[in-house]
Amino acid sequence: MRAWRYLLAVLLASLLAGLAQNVSAAEQAGDRVVTIADPFIELRTGPGRGYPIFHVVEKGQSVTLIQRRTQWVEVQAPRGHKGWVSRAQLGRTLDGTGEYLALQERSLSDYFRPHGEFGVAVGELAGTTALTVQGGWAFTDRMRLELAWTQANSDFASRRLLDVSLSALMAPRQRISPYVLVGTGRVKVTPRTVLVNADVRNERSVQAGAGVRAYLTRSFIWRAEYRHYVFLTDKDDNEELEQWRTGFSVLF
Taking only the tens place, the pLDDT of each residue in 111-141 is 456 889 999 999 999 889 999 999 999 988 8
Integer Cα distance of 11 and 5 in angstroms:
10
Q: pLDDT value at position 25?
A: 39
* pTM score, whole prediction: 0.59
Task: Tell me the per-residue pLDDT of 58-110, one tens digit each, with 9 for 90 and over.
Answer: 888 888 888 877 778 889 998 889 999 887 777 666 555 555 555 544 444 44
C-alpha distances out from residue 20 to 15, 27, 147, 167, 235, Å:
9, 11, 23, 14, 38
C-alpha distances out from residue 177 to 33, 77, 174, 181, Å:
31, 34, 6, 13
CATH architecture of 30-111: Roll (2.30)
Task: State the CB neighbour count (10 A cutoff) for residue 211.
Answer: 19
Through-space distance between the first and last CA atoms of the chain, rounded to whole angstroms: 39
Q: One fold for both 2-23+113-251 and 30-111?
A: no
- Confidence band (pLDDT; 50, 70, 90) for 53? very high
Domain boundaries, the chain: 2-23+113-251, 30-111
Task: Tell me the per-residue pLDDT of 146-188, one tens digit each, with 9 for 90 and over.
Answer: 999 999 988 788 899 999 999 999 988 778 889 999 999 999 9
- CATH number for the region 2-23+113-251 comes to 2.40.160.20
Q: pLDDT value at position 95?
A: 55
In the sheet that 72-76 helps form, which strands lie side by side, from edge to edge?
53-58, 40-44, 82-86, 72-76, 62-69, 32-36, 93-94
